[in-house]
């Protein structure tokens, strides 16, 4: 690995070299998904939860054109408090590197970076998906093909609630990405536990998810696995609240003519306003819960992928 391009923090390098579990974390949720200071507080809390559950956290981002795997608290604070940080998806990484930019990385870019660093598990809040009008505007998040290409297991609470969930699952089926929901029959709806769309596969435990991904790797199949974990019941938004807020925010985004990578940050912020902050509380609760699940999966995965 080119150390001018990639800086893997020594604590992360050591964990990887000793076969200890590592969990990658993204930074677009910090820079563009939540307001300051809740974003930085949440990012640091998520790292602590990963540690408490036996894994080493590696928050990913780009600083001065160098791809960092394992940002320090000061670096996380910088990404989370500096206005104008770029949102980099996978195709933006060469640009961020060549122009020495500071950039937050999306879920898809994180999966690509994790794969390059040898990290097997990635945790986020919600992934991108197939947009509601994709049949006309082709808005399909670059997160989805990234899941199909890179050998990394992603833990999330569903695709964001303003996506077409059935179409997102169909896209992942076509791109032969295994999709599991942990402990529930429905694929979750990010802020809300049930989307009304059945999950392709249900897993009973983190251990089972790790075993299935280990089998995928052992079979020599290319690409990752998507594990959805429903938001904890105590923090979920009622389905009607999610539906009303996301529908209204979506209509406003149409009137404002928003498209491309600006759309998701707008919708997340607008839904938070429309729900009086309830969606932000749900977002924080679900990523904390995902961190716990991801660390457990990473712990099991190192056992199932240990060379014999």
Q: Which residues bind Mn ion (CB under 5 A)?
A: 139, 141
108 binds, among Mn ion, ligand PSU, none (CB under 5 to 8 A by kind): ligand PSU
List the x/- string, 134-153, binding to ligand PSU by CB under 6 A.
Answer: -------xxx----------
Q: Whose Cβ is closer to ligand PSU: residue 197's or residue 280's?
A: 280
Cα-flanking dihedrals φ and ψ of residue 170, to 5°? -65, -45
Whole-angstrom distance, CA of residue 20 vs CA of residue 226: 21
Q: Which residues are catalytic?
A: 26, 160
- Classified as helix, coil or strand, 235 is helix
Contact status: 160 vs ligand PSU (CB under 6 A): yes
Binding map of ligand PSU across residues 259-278, x = CB under 6 A, - = no contact: --x--x---x----------
1-9, 44-52, 101-109, 229-237 -> range binding ligand PSU (CB under 6 A): 101-109
Residue 34, Cβ neighbours under 10 Å: how many?
Answer: 24
* One residue of 107, 130, 147, 161 binding ligand PSU per CB under 6 A: 107
295 binds, among Mn ion, ligand PSU, none (CB under 5 to 8 A by kind): none
283 is a contact residue toward ligand PSU (CB under 6 A): yes
Place of tokens 């491309």: 260
Handedness of CA 32, 288, 227, 158 (dihedral sign): negative
The minimum distance between CB 143 and Mn ion, in angstroms, equals 9
Q: Residue 48: count other Cβ atoms within 10 Å of its Cβ.
A: 12
In three-state secondary structure terms, 14 is: helix
178 binds ligand PSU (CB under 6 A): no
* Residues of the chain by 3-state class (helix, strand, coil), percent to 5: 50, 15, 35
Q: Measuring CA to CA, which residue among 267, 35, 23, 305 is closest to residue 153?
A: 23
Q: Which of 70, 80, 125, 230 binds ligand PSU (CB under 6 A)?
A: 125
Report which residue's Cβ sits closest to ligand PSU.
33
Structure tokens at 277: 């902050």
> Using the rule CB under 6 A, is 284 a contact of ligand PSU?
no
Pairing mode, strands 66-69 and 56-63? antiparallel
Size of residue set near ligand PSU by CB under 6 A: 20
Residue with tokens 């408090």: 81
Q: Rounded distance, CA 297 to CA 227, Å?
A: 10
Q: Are 122 and 23 in contact (CB under 8 A)?
A: yes
Would you count residue 246 as binding ligand PSU (CB under 6 A)?
Answer: no
Of 19 and 251, nearer to ligand PSU (C-beta) is 251
d(CA 113, CA 2): 12
26-85 binders of ligand PSU (CB under 6 A) = 26, 28-29, 32-33
Q: Whose Cβ is closer to ligand PSU: residue 33's or residue 299's? A: 33
Checking DSSP bridges between strand 66-69 and strand 6-8, what pairing results, if any? parallel
Give min distance, CB of 286 to ligand PSU, in A.
Answer: 8
Question: Which chain residues interact with ligand PSU by CB under 6 A?
Answer: 26, 28-29, 32-33, 106-108, 125-128, 141-143, 160, 261, 264, 268, 283
């Amino acid at each position: 690995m080119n150390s001018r391009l990639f800086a893997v923090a020594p604590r992360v390098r050591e964990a990887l070299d000793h076969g200890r579990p590592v969990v990658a974390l993204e930074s677009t949720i910090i820079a563009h998904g939540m307001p300051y200071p809740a974003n930085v507080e949440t990012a640091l809390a998520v790292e602590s939860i990963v540690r408490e559950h036996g894994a080493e956290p590696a928050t990913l981002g780009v600083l001065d054109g160098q791809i960092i795997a394992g940002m320090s608290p000061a670096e996380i604070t910088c990404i989370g408090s500096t206005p104008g940080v770029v949102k980099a998806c996978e195709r933006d990484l060469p640009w961020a590197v060549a122009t020495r930019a500071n950039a937050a990385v999306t879920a898809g870019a994180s999966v690509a970076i994790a794969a390059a660093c040898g990290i097997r598990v990635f945790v986020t809040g919600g992934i991108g998906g197939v947009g509601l009008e994709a049949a006309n505007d082709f808005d399909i998040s670059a997160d989805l093909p990234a899941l199909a290409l890179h050998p990394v297991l992603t833990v999330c609470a569903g695709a964001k609630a303003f996506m077409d969930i059935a179409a997102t699952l169909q896209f992942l089926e076509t791109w032969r990405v295994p999709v599991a929901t942990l402990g529930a029959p429905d694929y979750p709806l990010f802020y809300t536990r049930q989307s009304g769309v059945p999950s392709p596969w249900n897993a009973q435990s983190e251990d089972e998810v790790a075993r299935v991904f280990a089998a995928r790797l052992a079979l020599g199949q290319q690409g990752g696995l998507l594990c959805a974990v429903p938001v904890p019941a105590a923090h979920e938004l009622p389905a009607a609240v999610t539906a009303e807020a996301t529908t209204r925010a979506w209509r406003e985004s149409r009137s404002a003519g928003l498209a491309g990578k600006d759309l998701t940050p707008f919708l997340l912020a607008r839904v938070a306003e429309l729900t009086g902050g309830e969606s932000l509380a749900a977002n924080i609760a679900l990523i904390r819960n995902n961190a716990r699940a991801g660390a457990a999966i990473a712990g099991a995965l190192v056992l199932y992928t240990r060379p014999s």
